[in-house]
Chain A
Amino acid sequence: MGGLQKKKYERGSATNYITRNKARKKLQLSLADFRRLCILKGIYPHEPKHKKKVNKGSTAPRTFYLFKDIRFLLHEPIVRKFREYKVFVRKLRKAYGKAEWTGVERLRDNKPGYKLDHIIKERYPTFIDALRDIDDALSMCFLFSTFARTGKCHVQTITLCRRLTVEWMNYVVTSRSLRKVFLSIKGIYYQAEVLGQLITWLVPYQFAHDHPTDVDYRVMATFTEMYTTLFGFINFRLYQTLNLVYPPKVTQYLDLTFSCAQQKLSALSASLARVVATAEEEENQLDLFPTEGEDQENMQAREKEQKEQEAQKRLFEGLKFFLNREVPRESLAFILRCFGAEVSWDKSLCIGGTYEVTDETITHQIVDRPDMDKQYINRYYIQPQWVFDSVNAQMRLPVEDYFLGTTLPPHLSPFVEEKDGDYVPPEKLKLMALQRGEKPVQEDEEEEDEEEEEEDDDEEEDDDVDDEELTEEKNLKKLEGTRAQGKTLAVKVTPGKVKPWETGSVGNKVRLEQEEKAEEKRLAIMMMKKKEKYLYDKIMFGKKRTTREVSSLRCAPAKPTRPSLRPFACRWR
């Protein structure tokens, strides 16, 4: 026996953590500066597992940081800059107080500044790392670029954000990388695929600002400071990948309003596109290697996919749009240009319109009002939702549903991916059918189509042979129908299956095969252990239940085109 008694809180988790105040004192910074530093360096507070141990027996809620993180912060050169700035402010205040104007001027000339480049490099060692983390930066910059010149944040920050966002949009336009758009009640969600990374960002509507009071603007400004730096470097690199000159000419117009800067999109996209074309073509030609078996299939699939993507990129190519004054011009112009359309608007509205309403070659005019006085015969008058829905559907949707004054079909979220058996809105089913190349002829036929698809999607494994046969017959019908319709179905049906179908005898073979399969399956079920059988039954029951529910849902609304029910009358705060 013997030795010294171990003291409490001198080892273990108590020494691994440090409270915010202690960390602040260690770094000799004010709280605001400390918070700024942590945001810039990407050091976040931690919640310890055993708070009482860390907090030396107290249970008071505190903010903790990892001690090692703070020790790492000690090496940061910016810390010294912060201290210098503090001294600078003190001196300046003193000079002001003494009315030493020359002194003030001198101090202002020597204002200490700092750079974040090395921090960006440190936090994101490679370009892809940075690109993965750009969602936040994008949303933030788009948000700040919509701010008015209120005292909430520095005007220079707003201008810089505008510049960066316009540059980004230009990149997306020239690289044709936009994939999805979703108009929500909050703002517009965009998704683009840049260098293989899916990037999602949120853009607020243009005039939707009331400044909330419970948001710490200083924190947001600090984040923005970091993000603008990151964003700029990413933009540079992205422009480099397309062989473009980085600061594009748009930036010259920054002192104008945002929308005007946006207009430069039109002039710029044309000129930039020409530069790109050569590079793009080079990229798109896949190297062909003689391969066999599965590889070849994969290759074919990949090729097909790429072709589809190419087609999607040229979605609106050759179309000429005119935007009426009441539609959201920025987003529409951006999207339409992303897919290769020509866009113009009224000259009195904003500069940048390239042609007039009277232009005879306009194919579509986007309108968002109940009626128009003067209409041209040779163009479609459509509502803006058509553009967004077409982009999401990756095809030009029939314009009939979106004509002037008609009630619009619901705008579905492209970000939802339904699993097997989930409820799929009927509009989506219709859309899927359209994508497959089927034409919605009449209402009743449509219903049938939907059911068929449901069968397709669910792939129900029923024990009954009758059911199996029924589905088979349906499949048959469908196939016949598609054949009757013509060659539009090349997208989904693999050529290997369609060809033998044309000769009757082989068709029987297919049926026999399917029957055999069903038989095998039934036998397998019979051979199951009791336990497994129980589980299987349970699963099947669950599946059936979901499909039942779904079908009941589908039957329930007689005409649910415009929901006008009001089940919950209270207002949510």
Chain B
Amino acid sequence: GFTFVFFTQVLLKVDIGAHQLRLKRVAAAQPGFISFKSSAGSDDLNSGQRKRVNKNKKKNWNKHSDIQDVEEFLDDVRLQERATGGLISEKPDDSLFFVDIGEQRKYVQPVQEGKKGKKSKSRPLRIDLILQHDSLVPPPKDILAHQQPNAKKLRRIAENAAKLAAMGVLPRRQKRLLNRRPAITASKSKTAANNFPDRPYYDLWGAKETADPYYLEQTGKKRVKRPEKLNSKPSVLPAVEVIAPGGSYNPDFFSHQALLLEAHEVEVKRERAELRIERQLAVNRDDTATETVFQELVEGLVEEEEDEDEEEEDVSIRGGLQQEKKTEKERRRERADKIKSQQKQAARVFTDKKQQLFQLRSIQATLKRGEQQTRERVAQRKANQEAEKSMPRRLGRLRFQAQDLEVQLSDEIPGSLRTLKPEGSVLKDRFKSMQKRNMIEPRERAKFKRRHKVKYVEKRAFREIT
């Protein structure tokens, strides 16, 4: 059968305008208005006691006039507009009612268990649903969407520009852009690394200083002059020392022997130093305190009385001497002796001086000898200083240690260039050469030192197995 489902009936038209308040009151009083929600506050409005307030003050008007019904009504109107797109009372009946023609067959979606994941993917997220715009009130119209301000002017300008472009005349702005100096991006952006393989070079010594020296000085751009002394090399040794002729890949017999001898001497010296240390560390059997075990056991038990006697005697003699007092006669004699010896000494000096007059020649000779000696020493010192210029200096904690001589033994000499096995390392040679020329101080590789002790723990899994 037919059933008319009654939804809502709206009887009131509301003019939302200046006289809202009054109208709403009217509306609330209207019996035909159908509110969207079941109105709860309508009872409160009628019931309850009216409070008496003085209405001659504006404050009281605001405070004690009840506008809740109006607000509710307006809310309701807005809700209706949002939810249905207009007031329900204004809607035609067709849109509000429909004819119920029995139970409609529900379309049941076949649930496929395998596609569960896919289905869930196709469904929009809940958050999207929440955020969806669901108001039926259409957005306000943008008037400017359909019309353009100054359209005519713009059109004219565009036409003009097109004409000029066809003639080949560039607009001023573009011209200015073209005329602008290109930004100095290359130099500003990066200073290329010093080991950049394609780095450019230029004539470093050809370019003359063009800037005004006064300007440079005032702007603090003037470089400090390098002291002349710094340009002297710290050693007189050549940068590349050529190996001795014996170091040829196919050496002459004697020069090879000479090189071998040199290496041999180095090795002998090293061995001697090692031996010396060993000798010093060795236990000397002669230094044992006593010769036999028996003596060692007996030591101290047998007393040696003779020594003690002597000591006693010494003490007695000394004591006796100290106690004795000099007599007057002795003192006089002593004084006389002293004067006599002094006189003798003076006479001796006098005669010596006198004698020196005759020794003039020999004195001169000694003087000459002394001078000669000084001169020799000066020369020697100078020679030493010269030699020291080519010696490695002590520049730090460690001393310079020369590289091992590169030598190939007689049976290692290759027959041809193809079979040559190079000796030593050029890298090390260069490094040592710099140390030798006092350019860098000899250092040793820092040893790795563990801060904390490593604690070894047997893992449980491992322990279980064993």
Contact A39 B408 (CB under 8 A): no
What's the nearest-Cβ distance from chain B to residue A354, in Å?
23
Smallest Cβ-Cβ distance to B247: which chain A residue: A184
CA A333 to CA B119, docked complex, whole Å: 76
What's the tally of chain B residues with a CB closer than 8 Å to chain A? Answer: 85
Stretch among A108-116, A264-272, A446-454, A523-531 lining the B interface? A108-116
Contact with B along A534-562 (1 / 0, CB 8 A): 00000000000000000001000100100
Q: Which residues of B contact A189 (CB under 8 A)?
A: 240, 242-243
Smallest Cβ-Cβ distance to A409: which chain B residue: B250
CA A39 to CA B440, docked complex, whole Å: 8
Q: Which residues of A contact B411 (CB under 8 A)?
A: 564, 566
Residue among A184, A237, A246 facing the most chain B CB atoms (10 A cut-off): A184
Q: What DSSP secondary structure best describes chain B's contact surface?
A: loop
A117 near B: Cβ within 8 Å?
yes
Which of B197, B253, B443 has a CB less than 8 Å from the CB of A159? Answer: B197
Q: Which residues of A contact B418 (CB under 8 A)?
A: 326-327, 368-369
Q: Which residues of B contact A120 (CB under 8 A)?
A: 204
Question: A135-B238, A553-B254 in contact; A63/B430 too (CB < 8 A)?
Answer: no
What's the nearest-Cβ distance from chain B to residue A291, in Å?
35
What's the tally of chain A residues with a CB closer than 8 Å to chain B? Answer: 114
Contact A571 B425 (CB under 8 A): no
CA A159 to CA B194, docked complex, whole Å: 12
Residue among A72, A159, A185 facing the most chain B CB atoms (10 A cut-off): A185
Question: A127-B205, A185-B422, A215-B431 in contact; A251/B198 too (CB < 8 A)?
Answer: yes
Stretch among A223-231, A307-315, A493-501 lining the B interface? A223-231
Which of A42, A117, A573 has a CB less than 8 Å from the CB of B204? Answer: A117
Within 8 A of B (CB), among A184-216: 184-187, 189, 200-202, 204-205, 208-216
A302 near B: Cβ within 8 Å?
no
Contact with A along B174-210 (1 / 0, CB 8 A): 0000000000000001111111111111111110000
Contact B440 A568 (CB under 8 A): no
Contact B394 A572 (CB under 8 A): no
B256 near A: Cβ within 8 Å?
yes
A507 near B: Cβ within 8 Å?
no
Question: A184-B243, A240-B203, A572-B404 in contact; A122/B254 too (CB < 8 A)?
Answer: no
Question: A139-B240, A410-B251, A572-B407 in contact; A186/B422 too (CB < 8 A)?
Answer: yes
What's the nearest-Cβ distance from chain B to residue A364, in Å?
16
Question: A184-B243, A184-B247, A186-B423 in contact; A568/B264 too (CB < 8 A)?
Answer: yes
CA A241 to CA B304, docked complex, whole Å: 100
Contact A185 B417 (CB under 8 A): no
CA A427 to CA B343, docked complex, whole Å: 84
What's the nearest-Cβ distance from chain A to residue B385, in Å?
11
Which of B244, B250, B413 has a CB less than 8 Å from the CB of A385? Answer: B250
Contact with A along B406-433 (1 / 0, CB 8 A): 1111110101111010111111111100
B230 near A: Cβ within 8 Å?
yes
Residues of A within 8 A of B (CB): 35, 39, 42-47, 61-63, 68-69, 72, 75, 109, 111-118, 120-123, 126-127, 129-130, 133, 135-136, 139-140, 143, 154, 156-157, 159-160, 163, 182-187, 189, 200-202, 204-205, 208-216, 219-220, 223, 225, 228-229, 232-233, 235-237, 240, 246-247, 251, 254, 326-328, 368-369, 383-385, 407-408, 410-413, 415-416, 423, 425, 427-428, 553, 557, 560, 563-568, 570-573
Residues of B within 8 A of A (CB): 189-206, 223-224, 226-227, 230-231, 234, 238-240, 242-245, 247-257, 260, 263-264, 266-267, 393-397, 404-411, 413, 415-418, 420, 422-431, 434, 438-441, 443-445
A-B contact pairs, 5 of them (CB 8 A): A133-B239, A186-B423, A237-B205, A425-B252, A565-B410
